[in-house]
Amino acid sequence: MSNGKEQLDVEEDFTAAETDDVEPVVEVAKTNLSKRRTIDNLLEERRLQKQLADYDFDL
């Protein structure tokens, strides 16, 4: 474990990376949301088909 008296080495000439060259992450989020909605729709359809198959038509 570390104690509070240790000296940390700090790099003085640190420069932040340019953010202009980075592609936005929004596309990934849109793709993931689209995939999630597709999966949700398929699960809902499967659930409804199971309910329909289990339904007693001889009421």
Q: How many domains does the chain have?
A: 1
The pLDDT assigned to 29 comes to: 81
Is residue 39 in a domain? Answer: yes
Question: Is residue 47 in a domain?
Answer: yes
Domain that holds residue 38: 26-59
Q: Is residue 32 part of a domain?
A: yes
Compute the distance between CA of residue 17 and CA of residue 24 in angstroms, rounded to an integer: 15
pTM of the predicted model as reported, rounded to 2 decimal places: 0.47
How far is 40 from 43, CA to CA, in rounded Å? 5
49: in domain: yes
For residue 9, being part of any structural domain is answered with: no
Residue 52 lies in a domain: yes
Element (H, E) at 38: helix 26-54
pLDDT in tens, 8-59: 666 666 566 555 665 655 578 888 999 999 999 999 999 999 999 998 877 6
Angle 38-39-45 from CA coordinates, rounded to 5°: 90
Domain membership flag for residue 13: no
